[in-house]
Structures are given as structure tokens and as C-alpha cells.
A and B are shown apart, each in its own frame.
Chain A
Amino acid sequence: MSMRETDMTAGPERTARGGTGATDGAGAPGPARARGRRLRSWRAGLRRGGIEVRHLLRNRKEFVSYLSNVVVALMVASFIHDDLPGTHIPAAHLTIAGFAAYLLFQVGLINLPQILVTERDEGTLLRLRATPGGIPAYLVAKSVLIVVMAVGIITVLLGAAALLVNGPLPHSPGGWLTLIWVIALGLLAVVPLGAAIGAVLPNAREALAMIMLPAMALLVTSGAMFPIGRLPVVVQDVASFFPLRWMAQGVRSALLPDAARAVELSGSWQLPTVALVLAGWAVAGFLLAVPLLRRAARRESGSRLTERQGKARMSGALTT
């Protein structure tokens, strides 16, 4: 603050001193100022996250589109009346657990890339790049938004399912604990990956088309909707490579009674494998996302923005 005051009065001397300022920046005030800046951008990021959550809640259209996922899940579940083979557990419970996992997956791998691409094309990313501490604040804000979205959707889904279609909830504190760590690790597995995808996708409209199909394919093949054992072994193997299968299995282990293990491929919940696969995806996602996001932010400039907006206008994707 005091520095700024001297700037105002002694402006002309500033660049003259600039040369030495760069070298004695390593002195006493340097690290303190850097810490102050970091703190400021964290605070800005948290506040930004809060504001974005508020905007999401106020935007009826978007809010409805997120809720519609829940409605679809409940409708599908209400049409399933049989039990899981060899048990007295309603098959609908498996479907609801599968939808819970899928909606997490969707927040990370579809909603997040879409948000990132849209905000990049509107210039939000460039604006924050041009703002001191803007990019860290942006990442903090997006993390807040994604966590709130994911937890919100899961809560609404499980709450509504329990109230309306007699859906499953964890039976014990251990079950709740499992649910929490599976959600947390599942998000860690898909969010960095989604950020990496968002960093490389060309534009918002194509983005949706490019990720929607593989996501749907995984939804069907990952055992989220019906027991994975009914699928050919090759499909099982492919699906087992991706995180959704393991997220769904983890959520099932939290929501379904142990008798439901009979339907699992190995006859057990395989929680250590769930943790390992999801952690692996989390690490891989971070390794991909950090350089890709850095590259995306570095490449942003006014002319790139104009260029992309021109292209978007040509294809009619942008309305301004």
C-alpha cells in the first residue's frame, strides 16, 4: 500500500529505480509480498467460487438441466421392478448407485470441460490471465464450483430417490464413510482429466459432441445401469480401464448391502482396486492437466479470442 502512495507522487522516478528494484526484490519485502499475493488470490478464488455457485443456482435454465439428470435417473429406477439375480435386493438400487457414479463422472468429464471451453471462448480465461493472481484464483473457484455441483447433485439424487422410489442409502457409518471417500477420489480421478480435455477442445459446441458419445458408451458398459457380468468379456475389460466402472462399484459398496456382492464380477467390492484405479487416474489427470492448462492459458491473447469468435460466428454457435 505504501508503495502505491509513493508511486502516485514520485511517479517519474519509478522506472529509473525499476532496474535495481528487480535485483533487491529478493530482499526482505519480496517473499512477504509474494505470500500476500498468494493469499489474496486464494481469497479471490474462494469468493469467486461462491459467486459462481450463486449464479448457477439463479440460472433457471442451467439449474433445470442439471436437475433433469436426476429426474431421468428416478424415472429409469421406477421402471425397474425385479431383484438382482440371486438376491432380494431391488435392481433399481444398482441403477441408482450407477447413476450417482455417472453424474459425478459427468460433472468432471462433461460439465467441467464445457465450462472451461465456454469461458475460454468468452475471454474469461484471458481476463484472469491479465489479472495478477487471476489464474490460481480461477482454479480455486472452479474447484469450489465443481465440488459444490457434484455434492449437490448426489445429495439431490440420493435424497429424492430415498423419498420417492425407496432408493438406497448407506446402512452404517462405515457405508457413509465409503460413500464420502469414493466421491472424493472419484472427483479427483475425473476433474483433472476433464480440465485437461477442456484445455484442448476446439470450441464449446464440438466439445459436447466429442465427449458425449464416449461418455454414453461408458455409461452403458461400466455396469452402472445393469450388472457388468452380462456383457462380453472384451467389453468388460475395456470398461474396466476407465474410472466409471470403479466409481460405480465403489458407490454400490457404500449403498448396497453386502449380499449384492454376488452380482459383482469377482464376488467382492474390491475396494482396494477401486482406490488404486481412481488414484491412478487422478495422478494421470494431474500430470496431463497441469501442462495442458498452462499451455492453454499461455496461448490466450486478444487475437486468438477474436479468431475463435469469428469461427464460432460462422458456424452460428455464438449469439453476440
Chain B
Amino acid sequence: MTGTMTSTPTTAAGSRQSVVSARDVRMSYGSTEVLQGVDLDIHRGEIFALLGPNGAGKTTTVEILEGFRQRSAGEVRVLGKDPAHADDAWRGRIGLVLQSWRDHRRWQVAELLQHFATYYPDPRDPEELLELVGLTHRARHRVDQLSGGQRRRVDVALGIIGRPELLFLDEPTTGFDPEARREFHDLVERLARDEGVTILLTTHDLAEAERLADRIAMLVNGRIRICGTPAELARRAAAQAEVRWTAPDGAPRRERTADPSRLVWELHRETDGPIADLEVRRPTLEDTYLHMVHEHTAGTAGTTDARDAADAGTADDTALVGAGTGEERSA
């Protein structure tokens, strides 16, 4: 277990139930060890986000939990069962929303939901479900006539039609426009808060993780490197706050410091007046993420972009992940 894992939120995490628990999960393909001992605990009713660069082992981890992949070693319990030996009853308690689904294109939306309801002992009412995902007006349309966002909402509807206790969301908002994304986030929050569905979200969108997740884990190079609430993660960033301003000679300046308040105070004393374009950027989830990626993949090919970005004290770094989570304040 990576020390960072144990310091989960201050709530009575121990007394809460684990829906997913993984201990020292390993996965090797030939001589490459994709997972090098993953530990994971996801509690009932929480939204848990798993972040990590491509190739870090995210997909492998999730597919082991979904029961689609056999692990090389380690202990896994999902809803009290080992997913490697999952049966139909267990399947019925899990919901999946995958980004690569393009199935059942010829089916009408309502027809599709009604059909999949018949597989479950106690399904949701298809009409209420359409209402819930906002597709009532598309009920009679064929799946291949829907927009990308609507299609994904059909996938969500199918994912929750059997009233799953645990829902896997695999990069659910890739390709969504901002409005569709907002609506989707509202839906996911409603599922978790109102219906107590436990959600495991994998995403590349840090803003999405920050907005939705109760807890976030970062998987880099086959291990969970850090895990906690979004606020905890941002605080734990080794990255320092950044102060930007324009010097009296007109040159843009920036400086990294652990104590931005002191720096600004000193600047004010030096200039004895207002400081042009003053900005304080607090460490964000993005900083933490990039720092983690940098720290644990140094020397690994293919991660240079991320490393450059994490190093950025001097270069143009901001728009890299595009999450735009910087907390900005101007004087």
C-alpha cells in the first residue's frame, strides 16, 4: 500500500463499506509489468475518479474490476465477489458505460431500453429512465440518429437500467460540447446523491474529476501514487503557488513560492504602489497531476510533454491540459 492511500478523508472511512477493494494487484504482459501493486478502496455511494496518463494501467485496472481481464496477482473484491469468477447475478449489480460502444444502431431508443429491461429481475421503468436521462423527446428515434451526447446518455440509461450498485463510467464526456457535459455531470451527481449508486469514473478531464469526484486516485506507471479528496490532492501538490506581475520596466515577471502572500507584500513595499497585472495562482489539481506524472515517469519515453509542463516555471505552460482550474486573483 502506498503511504498516501491511508490518509483518506477524515470521515469514518474505516466504518464505510468497501464496494471495491483491491490489494497489491499486479498485471504483466510478458516481461512488462503494467500494474505493479495497485491498492484501491471505493466506498458505497461515492464518486471515485481514477486519473492517469495513457499507458499508466488505468484501463487494465478498470477491466480487472469489471471482470473482463484476468490479473496476474493480487486480491480483488467487487461487491463482495472476485470479478474473475463473476456470475450473472453479480453482473446484474454492475453497470457499464464505455466510450467505444456503437452497438444497436438500428434500434429505437425506447425499444432498446424496453428490451434490456427484460434481462433484469427488477429493472427501472424505461419511460422514467428516458425522463431521467433527458431523452423522452427522442424515444421514437433510432440510436444512429442521435448526437454523440444523446448516444452516451442512452449508454448511461442502459448502464443503470438494472439498478446497479456500482457504475463504471469510462471517459463518458469525450467529445461532448460544454452544455452536454454540464447536463451529463448533473445526471451523474443525481445518480450518486439521490440514488446511492457508487461510481467509478475514469477521465482525462481534470476539471470533470474535480467537479464530480468525492475522491480521486492517480495511477502513474502501474501504481496509485496519490489518493484523496480533490482539495487534499491540490494541497499536497509539490508545485508551489505562482505569482505573476509586470515589472515597472514593462517586462512580464513570474515567480514560484510557497508563501505567495509574503512575496506580494514584499513586492508592494518595493514598488510602493499598485503592481501591474498582479496574479496569484494557487497549486491546482492539474499541478498535482502533472507533478505526479513527472515524478514517476521521469526517464520513460513518451511522457516528455507532461514532464515539460510540470517543469514549467519558465515556459508557456498554462493551456496544456486545458482544465483551466487555476484560481486567479488580480490586484
Contacts and interface: CB of A to CB of B under 8 A. Distances in A.
A236 interface: no
Contacts of A300: 68
Contacts of B46: none
19 contacts: A14-B80, A14-B165, A19-B80, A36-B121, A44-B119, A51-B115, A123-B100, A123-B101, A123-B103, A130-B66, A130-B91, A132-B92, A133-B119, A134-B119, A301-B63, A302-B96, A303-B63, A306-B99, A309-B100
Contacts of B106: 55, 59
B121 A18 contact: no
A132 B120 contact: yes
Q: Which 3 A-B pairs have the closest CB atoms?
A: A18-B80, A301-B68, A132-B88
A281 B96 CA distance: 38
Contact of B119 (A22, A41, A302, A305): A41
Contacts of A122: 101-105
A15 B101 contact: no
B94 interface: yes
B102 A309 contact: yes
Given A15-B19, A130-B91, A47 B101 contact: no
Contacts of A3: 121
State the main secondary structure of chain B at its contact with A: loop
B85 to A, nearest CB: 10
Contacts of B115: 44, 47-48, 51
Interface of A: 1, 3-4, 7, 11-12, 14-16, 18-19, 21-22, 33, 36-37, 40-41, 43-44, 47-48, 51, 55, 59, 119, 122-124, 126-127, 130-134, 137, 300-303, 305-306, 309, 320
A143 to B, nearest CB: 17
A127 B158 CA distance: 9
Contact of B79 (A18, A59, A124): A18
Given A44-B118, A137-B119, A37 B99 contact: no
Contacts of B165: 7, 11, 14
A70 B91 CA distance: 44
Interface of B: 17-19, 44, 59-60, 62-63, 66, 68-69, 79-81, 88-89, 91-92, 94, 96, 98-107, 111, 115-116, 118-122, 158, 162-163, 165, 170, 196
Q: Which of B98, B105, B162 has the most CB of A within 10 A?
A: B98
Q: Which residue, B62, B63, B103, B111, has most C-beta atoms of chain A within 10 A?
A: B103
Given A18-B79, A41-B119, 9 more contacts: A19-B80, A33-B89, A37-B88, A37-B89, A44-B119, A55-B107, A122-B102, A124-B103, A132-B120
Contacts of B68: 300-302
B30 to A, nearest CB: 17
Nearest to B60: A303
Given A12-B17, A43-B118, A44-B115, A130 B103 contact: no
Contact of A1 (B17, B44, B111, B121): B121
Given A302-B68, A302-B98, A133 B88 contact: yes
A302 B122 contact: no
Given A130-B91, A130-B94, A133-B88, A15 B80 contact: yes
Nearest to B163: A4
A11 B44 CA distance: 9
B98 A305 contact: yes
Contacts of A1: 121-122
A125 B92 CA distance: 16
Contacts of B59: 302-303
B116 A131 contact: yes
A36 B158 CA distance: 22
B100 A4 contact: no
Contact of A131 (B19, B66, B119): B119
Contacts of B66: 130, 301-302
